[in-house]
Amino acid sequence: MNKNKSEFNKEEIDADFEKLNAPISMPDLAGNEVKYITDCVNSGWISSQGKYVKKFEKDFSAYTQSKFGIAVMNGTVALHLALLALGIGEDDEVILPDLTFAATINAVLYVGAKPVIVDVGIDDWCISPVAIEKAITTKTKAIIPVHLYGQVCNMDIIMELAREYHLKVIEDCAEAHGAEFNGQKVGTFGDIGCFSFFANKIITTGEGGMCVTNSESLAEELSVLRDHGMSKTRRYWHEKVGYNYRLTNLQAAIGCAQLENISSILKKRDEIENLYIDGLQDIKEIFFQSKFEKRKKVTWLTSVLLSPVVNREVFIKKMSAVGIDIRPFFYPLSTMPIYSQFSNEQGSPVALELSQRGINLPTMTCKNSDFYATVISQIRAFFCQTMEGNDE
């Protein structure tokens, strides 16, 4: 795995090699998932009522060190409900990072508010506190920091800004289950933390999400909005226009089983990232995520930057040809015509650069070290051949 470039040759790379089945992600369902789902089916409680929904909410909120957990059907609606519960609506401005999945900005548009897109930091890839402060106006009502690719935003400064300007904070933790800032779990700094349990996330329910909060009144509002706006004390009496955003008992059963193993899942993911670091440390064209004092990042996917001299599209196609699924970073929101009107005057040069250079590598806890050794050998082969060819 630590061979020098000169030690690789095409015959060695191709010898006895069958096309690898290496998707970007795969859920690890080696715990009690089948047992708990079977229990659901046998009990007849397979919809949004049942013991596993309540247990998942209780256990996940405890894991995140929050008082309340409200399970929902996916991470996008978690963001939508959070904005609604905080009273964000028409004419309000919500600051969010340019480098994030579209769900973050879509949720703001759902409530009729105006997204304000700002740049991210070159070192942590997360929303820039400096850019946040420059974008604040009298109409700004909230900030959505996104803990991107398992990295943690600088929550000290973000919360200082929120207090100074009286802003709500909704943490987008879709890719950062278990990450911490100064020993405190993400999702617990702001008013509401939003998580996703999509199949490629650190833990999964297939589709699913969760809002966590320490506010009893917000928890109550989130719960009512999730369940058609129905009164908690008077069945079929609707106090407001709500939504059917409920998680099923079947999905929650999977979540309970996943949560039982989250510590080992996070440990395995860190070990996978370390395999990549050890195996690719001498490839000067690859740069891994930074680590910061007070921030405990987690490994969602192994995320790296390529040197600007590398043709990323060629690399992705070469890896695909041998069965390795490499994913590029998200496009900056501001580069897409439907969102470009919401970019700020300063633009987002850092987000653009990161988007053009970033890739995610296969990260699956159900694969062993021999599997990753093969993936790494193929990545090394590309750089040994391609970059040596460029030097000639």
Domain boundaries in the chain? 5-28+262-391, 33-119+126-260
Give 254-290 pLDDT, tens digit per residue.
999 999 999 999 999 999 999 999 999 999 999 999 9
**pLDDT tens readout for residues 194-224:** 999 999 999 999 999 999 999 999 999 999 9
Question: CA-CA distance, 387 to 392, in Å (whole number)?
Answer: 9
pLDDT bucket at 14, cuts 50 / 70 / 90: very low
Q: What is the pLDDT of residue 389?
A: 53
CATH superfamily for 5-28+262-391 is: Aspartate Aminotransferase, domain 1 (3.90.1150.10)
CATH topology of domain 33-119+126-260: Aspartate Aminotransferase; domain 2 (3.40.640)
pTM: 0.93
How many whole angstroms separate alpha carbon 286 and alpha carbon 277? 9
How many Cβ atoms are within 10 Å of 370's Cβ, its own excluded? Answer: 7
Catalytic positions, written as ranges? 201
Helix (H, G, I), strand (E, B) or coil at 288: strand
Q: How confident is the prediction for the chain on average, in pLDDT?
A: 94
Six-digit token string for 77? 């609606």
Q: Please state, in angstroms and as integers, the Cα–Cα distance from residue 267 to each residue in 170, 190, 298, following that order.
A: 27, 26, 9
Neighbours of 242 (CB within 10 A): 17
Please tell me the predicted confidence (pLDDT) of residue 290. Answer: 95
Question: In this model, does residue 66 exceed pLDDT 80?
Answer: yes
Total number of residues shown for the chain: 392
Residue 344: pLDDT band by 50, 70, 90 thresholds?
Answer: confident
The whole-number average pLDDT for the span 309-329 is 97
pLDDT at residue 16, as a whole number: 40
Query: Which residues does residue 71 pair with via DSSP β-bridges, in sequence order?
Result: 210
pLDDT tens-place string over residues 67-107: 999 999 999 999 999 999 999 999 999 999 999 999 999 99
